[in-house]
């Protein structure tokens, strides 16, 4: 039985299985129904879930060229009470409840009803707030005052995530909210766990988590939070005094001779095209050094670098390396040694030099934040950051491969800000992409053994298309007009009603679509301030007060 109080509109002619138009009843006009709200279309025995895509008010006395044009021109009052006026509501038809495809359109005259999503949570989302393996985030658009969070299915994290949005759209805040939600995942009644995470923090947006936990705060079920900075930053007392801070260090012996040779040539040239001989001979040099009694490649770039160069000359004579190839290898080695000479990445004591680091974070559910901001990486160039990323990606890929071989399930989410710097598309103008190959391997194979990517970018069209195509959940904030078509194609398509919003969404608004969403259609969500317990402090300015202070006023 339909209650008259529930009816808010009547379906008009022209409906399809994907969209419909209704005329609102008078009491539902003028803000009674808002864009983004969910409504129910009662069509015979069927219940069709619909989303309000657009509301259009009409008034016969306010149309272009009507008889009242002269009166409006002269500012005379118009008798609106006798005008023909109404509001039209454009609807996106979503699913037939309970959760099946809509196979025939609603009929003209069908009633449109208001629905309370909180009371019909299971019908709409397929799960309720008591169900395990889901985290709930934000509020559905149109329900900002009453708050209607949406569920995300944690079991589908291994299928990779992408978060897009221009500066100021709220993507970092959303990422922080996601981190906090994944710190406390319900697995059964009264039992929660944290999802292990590594964050490449390009701008220091997440370092507050290390400070928060160090000051006694509790971040869900996360056992520990560590902030990793480059050695020169670690030498500063003020940096070490804030939270659990550790230096970034590299152990070259955890990388195979072949992969190290490729990384060194990439570091030097920015590409491996035309460098096959250099890579082959550099790999031969590392094997030759081991044969000559240098078992640790790490030592070759610290205490044994002169020996390395001398043995290169000897090897070149023994196997007839061409002088130009030998010279290129020598220059590549000199270039690569700057990671130690400038940044002390090889000689510093660091827990990143042991594979146990990955074992600990996955077993204990820790959060490791790699601070690549100006504070955590002072004076560090992009290719050095890329090499650190290559090192991390290599360790993760190799260790998770071993877990798979041993049939030991482990899980980790690898969150990468400014992803276009580490797995760029060919159109993106950066000199090199050291980590590209390893991140591509994780994207294509990582889902098989629990290693997941979360790629964050303000210019998604500059991120490698193949890597992004492996992502199956998308958080889309306001994007640049140049990225609209790319975002539409890479995310599997969006309803026409949502496309115009891609460039105009307010800060904090996000379209969520894909495998983690429990419904087969995109959701428009607003991330709430309450979704983040630890508020970010980076980026806050004090311009006016500081200017006044400098002027003495």
88-122 as b/e, with b when 16 or more CB fall inside 10 Å? Answer: ebbbbbbbbeebeebeebbeeebbbbbbebeebbe
| Tally of structural domains, the chain | 3
- Whether residue 552 is contained in a domain is answered as no
Query: Of 175, 177, 187, which is closest to residue 134 (Cα–Cα)?
Result: 187
Do 522 and 441 share a structural domain? Answer: yes
- Whether residue 464 is contained in a domain is answered as yes
Do 201 and 284 share a structural domain? Answer: no
- Whether residue 553 is contained in a domain is answered as no
Domain extent for 106: 7-124
- Check residue 546 and give its pLDDT: 82
180-216: per-residue pLDDT in tens? 999 999 998 889 999 999 999 999 999 999 999 999 9
285-338: per-residue pLDDT in tens? 999 999 989 889 999 999 999 999 999 999 999 999 999 999 999 999 999 999
Do 158 and 94 share a structural domain? Answer: no
Q: Which residues contact 549 (CB under 8 A, 6 or more apart)?
A: none
Do 239 and 269 share a structural domain? Answer: no
Do residues 163 and 456 lie in contact, with contact meaning Cβ atoms separated by under 8 Å?
yes
Alpha-carbon Rg for the chain in angstroms: 29
Do 239 and 257 share a structural domain? Answer: no
Do residues 409 and 156 lie in contact, with contact meaning Cβ atoms separated by under 8 Å?
no
Q: Is the dihedral of CA 337, 341, 347, 352 positive or negative?
A: negative
Percent of the chain with pLDDT over 90: 79
- Whether residue 541 is contained in a domain is answered as no
349-390: per-residue pLDDT in tens? 999 999 899 999 999 999 999 999 999 999 999 999 999 999
- Check residue 2 and give its pLDDT: 54
Query: Of 348, 429, 430, which is closest to residue 381 (Cα–Cα)?
Result: 430
- Top pLDDT among 445 and 428 is at 445
Do 257 and 177 share a structural domain? Answer: no
- Whether residue 192 is contained in a domain is answered as yes
The neighbour count for residue 300, using CB atoms within 10 Å, is 24
Do 505 and 377 share a structural domain? Answer: yes
- Top pLDDT among 112 and 65 is at 112
Q: If phi over 0 gives left and psi between -120 and 50 gives alpha, with beta otherwise, what is residue 24? A: beta
- Strand 191-193 relative to strand 46-59, pairing: unpaired
Give the model's confidence band at 434: pLDDT under 50 very low, under 70 low, under 90 confident, else very high: confident
- Top pLDDT among 209 and 120 is at 209
Do 244 and 266 share a structural domain? Answer: no
Host H or E run for residue 229? strand 225-229
- Check residue 432 and give its pLDDT: 60
- Whether residue 542 is contained in a domain is answered as no
Query: Of 160, 134, 135, 152, which is closest to residue 448 (Cα–Cα)?
Result: 160
pLDDT at 247 over 50: yes
Q: Which of 293, 311, 341 is the last residue of a domain?
A: 341
Give the model's confidence band at 539: pLDDT under 50 very low, under 70 low, under 90 confident, else very high: low
Joined together, the tokens standing for residue 6 give: 């529930």
Do 335 and 437 share a structural domain? Answer: no
Do 168 and 99 share a structural domain? Answer: no
Mean pLDDT of the chain: 93
Percent of the chain with pLDDT over 70: 98
- Whether residue 537 is contained in a domain is answered as no
Do residues 462 and 425 lie in contact, with contact meaning Cβ atoms separated by under 8 Å?
yes
- Strand 46-59 relative to strand 85-97, pairing: antiparallel
- Check residue 5 and give its pLDDT: 66
Joined together, the tokens standing for residue 105 give: 């359109």
CATH number at residue 449: 3.40.50.300
Do residues 462 and 430 lie in contact, with contact meaning Cβ atoms separated by under 8 Å?
no
Q: Which of 124, 142, 166 is the last residue of a domain?
A: 124
Measured between alpha carbons, how far is residue 172 from residues 36, 66, 177, 313, 463 in Å? 23, 50, 9, 50, 17
68-103: per-residue pLDDT in tens? 899 989 999 988 888 889 999 999 999 998 888 999
- Whether residue 1 is contained in a domain is answered as no
Joined together, the tokens standing for residue 169 give: 């759209």
Do 173 and 85 share a structural domain? Answer: no
Do 234 and 304 share a structural domain? Answer: no
- Check residue 20 and give its pLDDT: 97
- Check residue 1 and give its pLDDT: 44
């Amino acid at each position: 039985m339909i209650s008259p109080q529930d009816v808010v509109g009547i379906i008009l002619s022209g409906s399809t299985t994907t969209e419909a138009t209704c005329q609102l009843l008078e009491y539902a006009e003028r803000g009674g129904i808002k864009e983004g709200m969910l409504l129910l279309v009662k069509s015979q025995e069927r219940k069709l879930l619909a989303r309000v895509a657009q509301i259009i008010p009409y008034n016969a006395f306010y149309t272009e060229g009507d008889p009242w044009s002269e009166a409006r021109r002269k500012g005379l009052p118009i008798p609106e009470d006798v005008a023909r006026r109404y509001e039209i509501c454009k609807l996106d038809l979503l699913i037939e409840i309970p959760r099946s495809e809509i196979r025939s359109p609603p009929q003209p005259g069908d009633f449109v009803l208001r629905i309370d999503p909180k009371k019909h949570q299971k019908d709409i989302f397929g799960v309720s707030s008591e169900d395990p393996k889901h985290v709930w985030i934000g509020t559905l658009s149109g329900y900002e005052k009453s708050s209607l969070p949406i569920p995300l299915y944690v079991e589908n994290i291994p299928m990779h995530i992408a978060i897009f949005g221009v500066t100021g759209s709220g993507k970092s805040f959303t990422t922080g909210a996601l981190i906090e939600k994944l710190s406390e995942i319900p697995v059964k009644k009264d039992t929660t766990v944290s999802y292990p995470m590594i964050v490449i923090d390009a701008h220091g947006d997440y370092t507050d988590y290390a400070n928060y936990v160090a000051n006694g705060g509790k971040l869900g079920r996360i056992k520990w939070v560590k902030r990793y900075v480059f050695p020169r930053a670690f030498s500063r007392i003020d940096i070490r005094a804030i939270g659990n801070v550790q230096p970034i260090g590299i152990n070259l012996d955890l990388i195979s001779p072949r992969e190290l040779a490729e990384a060194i040539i990439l570091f030097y040239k920015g590409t491996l095209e035309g460098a096959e001989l250099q890579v082959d001979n550099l790999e031969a040099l590392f094997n030759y050094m081991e044969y000559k009694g240098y078992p640790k490649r790490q030592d070759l770039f610290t205490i044994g670098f002169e020996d390395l160069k001398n043995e290169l000359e000897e090897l070149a004579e023994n196997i007839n390396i061409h002088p130009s190839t030998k010279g290129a290898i020598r220059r590549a080695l000199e270039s690569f040694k700057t990671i130690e000479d400038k940044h002390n990445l090889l000689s510093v004591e660091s827990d990143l030099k042991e594979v146990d680091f990955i074992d600990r974070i996955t077993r204990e559910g820790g959060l490791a934040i790699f601070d690549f901001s100006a504070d955590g990486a002072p004076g560090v160039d992009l290719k050095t950051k890329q090499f650190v990323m290559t090192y991390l990606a290599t360790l993760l890929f190799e260790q998770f491969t071993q877990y798979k071989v041993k049939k030991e399930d482990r899980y980790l989410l690898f969150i990468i800000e400014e992803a276009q710097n580490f797995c760029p598309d060919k159109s993106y103008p950066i000199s090199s992409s050291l980590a590209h190959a390893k991140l591509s391997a994780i994207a294509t194979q990582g889902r098989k053994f629990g290693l997941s990517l979360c790629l964050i970018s303000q210019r998604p069209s500059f991120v490698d298309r193949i890597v992004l195509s492996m992502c199956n959940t998308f958080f889309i904030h306001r994007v640049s007009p140049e990225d609209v078509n790319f975002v539409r194609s890479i995310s599997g398509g969006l309803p026409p009603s949502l496309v115009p919003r891609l460039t105009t969404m307010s800060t904090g608004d996000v379209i969520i679509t894909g495998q983690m969403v429990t419904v087969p259609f995109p959701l428009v969500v607003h991330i709430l301030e309450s979704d983040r317990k630890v508020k970010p402090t980076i980026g806050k300015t004090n311009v006016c007060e500081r200017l006044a202070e400098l002027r003495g006023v």
